[in-house]
Structure 1
Amino acid sequence: MSIFDEYYDEHNLGEYSDMSKKELVIEAEYLHNSLYNILKYVDNGGTDIDVIKAEVYDGFYESRI
């Protein structure tokens, strides 16, 4: 069993098994972009925690994951 299989089982990710591959890719890409935007903001000297929180909450809200 791979580490990904263990993670899948431990976190009950089977609840997403009804989603299509396309939906899952879109969800993952959206969250990836949210994380990238946060890192870019911080790397460019951003320190406002409210800006970071807004990006995080938007990522969670827009994603079903």
Structure 2
Amino acid sequence: MRDFSVKIRPSLVALNIGEEITYPIERLKSVRTQASELGAIMKRRYTTWTDRINGTISVKRIK
């Protein structure tokens, strides 16, 4: 089992434009949901992508 100690929402709120963060692929649905919700609420834009080989999902703040 992987380490899930990093909280998704606070870490996405703390991102500055151009910064990115990576999570375990097991958190895929939660990460994408939070990025979408925060983008709408806070008028931000995030992009997400998965790395199936390494088993990760990454989020980058683009606006």
TM-score under structure 2 length normalisation? 0.33
As a proportion of its length, which structure holds more helix? 1
Structure with the greater alpha carbon radius of gyration: 1
